[in-house]
Amino acid sequence: MSWTEYNQSIIRYPELGFSIDTSLMDIPADYAAGLELDKAFAGIKAIEKGDICNPDEGRMVGHYWLRNAELAPTAELKADITGPLADLKAFAAKVLAGEIVAENGEKFENLLVIGIGGSALGPQLVYDALGAKSPLKTFFFDNTDPAGIDTTVAKIGCGLSKTLSLVVSKSGGTAETRNAMLEAKAAYEAAGCDFGKHTVAITGIGSKLDDYSKANGFIAMFPMDDWVGGRTSVMSTVGLVPAALQGIDIDEFLQGAADMDALTRVDDFAKNAGIQLAAAWHHAGNGKGEKDMVVLPYKDSLVLFSKYLQQLVMESLGKELDLDGNVVHQGIAVYGNKGSTDQHAYVQQLRDGVHNFFVTFIEVREGRDGQSIKVEDDFTSADYLQGFLRGTRKALYQSDRKSITISIDKVTPRSLGALIALFERAVSYYALLVNINAYHQPGVEAGKKAAGDFLTLLNKVRESLSADAQSAEQIAATLGDDIEDVYHCLSHLAANGQAKLNAGATPAEDSFAV
């Protein structure tokens, strides 16, 4: 790759301390000409002006308005953004000033965020990246795993009485979040505390959670709008309530995103990092996601960015049908962790093994805030980190492995907001280029339904247990259900003290009794 090509491939936004270098993607100069760029630019405008761009759910797609309420298509929608923003800032200020306190009159010292998917990943990323000096130590329940919940409760320990909980669910009906909330309630009650007096809801108006919050005397409820998707909700009340409570400058966070939005909505391919990122993904995977995206931030505080992008990209782009109903099985698989840590893990395969990916490096130019010691005569730890990034990038390219490098000066609310906005925009553009709805998630419903079927069967199996040991086959014959499904119910009951297992040599020879 020549110096000239590097200069032609890089886009720099000095006002954001940002650059993106696609030179190592080897994109032919005329590649963009073969893409439906006009459709993508027109599509983004339709999204931002409030068309129903999530047709399957009949919803607008409004996350771009969250950082610039002036863009909202009506005064009412604008007020739905600015009102809660002012309220949440006032609320956070009162909590941090000790004006809103725990039931025992003490200042809150901890925060427990209860949510899953888009209702957890954004707050987790923001806290990890920016929350080092948070006045509220923050914990998460992001699953229905009781052992995980126990571990977190043990970590909070006697601090539970000074812990403010946020229950976050757009739909207000997500089973994992409901379960985790009830587990939290039980933990507060075991500590002699009233759950409602320590808890805030963030949910859609009129949802089950909204009703529950009123019935249980929650401290407050912050609304979430149906035109914001879970995976793009970090700049709504979902991400901003916890961030404000953590003392993070949410105005800067929103401004970074607004600035990136402004720079990536221009109809000029040469200047638009969002459409160029989408085009790079398109080229890498032949418009069909044939290559996975490995995300490698060389900065510990961005370790969750790969996980965050995994939901943003895969839940948005992983679709069976296109907008015309054709079966397309679109998507881009995303995984990653951080550099240079991963150099001592899977980078070996990236360099030498199966060639099914491209890398997105995230470079943070400043090593640390402050002076560094020399770890060798001439070098600091930051020199090494930079050396490993540049070295890995080059070594991969020498073995024909492509990469994008995105650089920011440092991890700040502003740069994180800009990074998130860049990827949100690239996802929108990519979806427009390949003609899919990026804003629904029908596939998730199949798993939820199957889980419901399992629970129904679990009840039936539990009731059919008797003092006489029976095999899965016998119980399945009585119930008229699938033997393997019945067997898994029996195994689960036995592992959780609700059935007695007489182990045989094979699952068919196992038998179960009450």
Q: Which stretch of DSSP H or E encloses residue 505?
A: none
**Which x/- pattern over 277-316 shows residues binding ligand F6P (rule: CB under 6 A)?**
--------------------------------------x-
By beta-carbon proximity to ligand F6P, the closer residue of 444 and 514 is: 444
Sign, CA dihedral 261-36-314-386, equals: negative
Residue range at the interface with ligand F6P (CB under 6 A); choices 5-13, 163-171, 460-468, 475-483? 163-171
| Number of amino acids touching ligand F6P (CB under 6 A) | 14
Instruction: Report how far Cα 258 is from the mean position of its chain's Cα atoms.
Output: 20
Q: Which is closer to ligand F6P, CB of 109 or CB of 226?
A: 226
CB atoms within 10 A of CB 302: 23
Which range, of 168-176, 290-298, 344-352, 488-496, touches ligand F6P by CB under 6 A? 168-176
Q: For the CB of residue 202, give the shortest distance to ligand F6P in the complex, in Å.
A: 9
Give the helix/strand (H/E) hosting 474.
helix 472-479
DSSP lists the bridge partners of residue 137 as 110
> For residues 266 and 444, which CB has a smaller minimum distance to ligand F6P in the complex?
444
Please give the full DSSP string across 220-283, using - where no structure is assigned: EEEE--TTS-GGG-TTSHHHHHHHHHTT--HHHHHHHHHHHHHHHSSS-GGG-HHHHHHHHHHH
> What angle, rounded to 10 degrees, do the helices at 175-190 and 208-215 form?
20
Task: Tell me which of 170, 307, 338, 402 binds ligand F6P, using CB under 6 A.
Answer: 170
Q: Which stretch binds ligand F6P (CB under 6 A): 38-46, 87-95, 171-179, 465-473?
A: 171-179
Question: Alpha-carbon distance 85 to 382, whole Å?
Answer: 38
Cβ proximity to ligand F6P: between 27 and 224 the closer is 224
Catalytic residue positions? 315, 344, 448
Region near ligand F6P per CB under 6 A, out of 167-175, 180-188, 361-369, 411-419: 167-175
Which string of x and - marks every residue 346-385 that binds ligand F6P (by CB under 6 A)? Answer: ----------------------------------------
Residue sitting closest to ligand F6P (CB): 230
**Closest listed residue to residue 358, CA positions, set 29, 28, 24:** 24
**Site map for ligand F6P, 436-475, x if CB under 6 A?**
-----x--x-------------------------------
Judged by CB under 6 A, the residue of 19, 68, 119, 276 near ligand F6P is 119
Spatial CA neighbour of 273 closest among 53, 67, 36, 16: 16
Query: Is 231 among the residues that bind ligand F6P (CB under 6 A)?
Result: yes
- Cα separations (Å) of 399 from 295, 347, 459? 18, 12, 55
262: exposed, middle or buried (Cβ count in 10 Å: 0-12, 13-18, 19+): middle
Residue among 23 and 203 whose Cβ is closer to ligand F6P: 203
Structure tokens at 367: 């090593």
User: For ligand F6P, which is the closer residue by CB, 357 or 423?
Assistant: 423
Among 22, 68, 152, 177, binds ligand F6P (CB under 6 A): 177
Would you list the DSSP string of 375-411?
Answer: SSSS--HHHHHHHHHHHHHHHHHHTT--EEEEEESS-
The answer to the question of residue 174 lying near ligand F6P (CB under 6 A) is yes
Q: Report the first-to-last Cα separation within the chain, whole angstroms.
A: 70
Selected from 68, 110, 169, 360, the binder of ligand F6P by CB under 6 A is 169
Q: Can residue 117 be called a binding residue for ligand F6P (CB under 6 A)?
A: yes
Interface with ligand F6P by CB under 6 A: which residues?
A: 116-119, 169-171, 174, 177, 230-231, 315, 441, 444
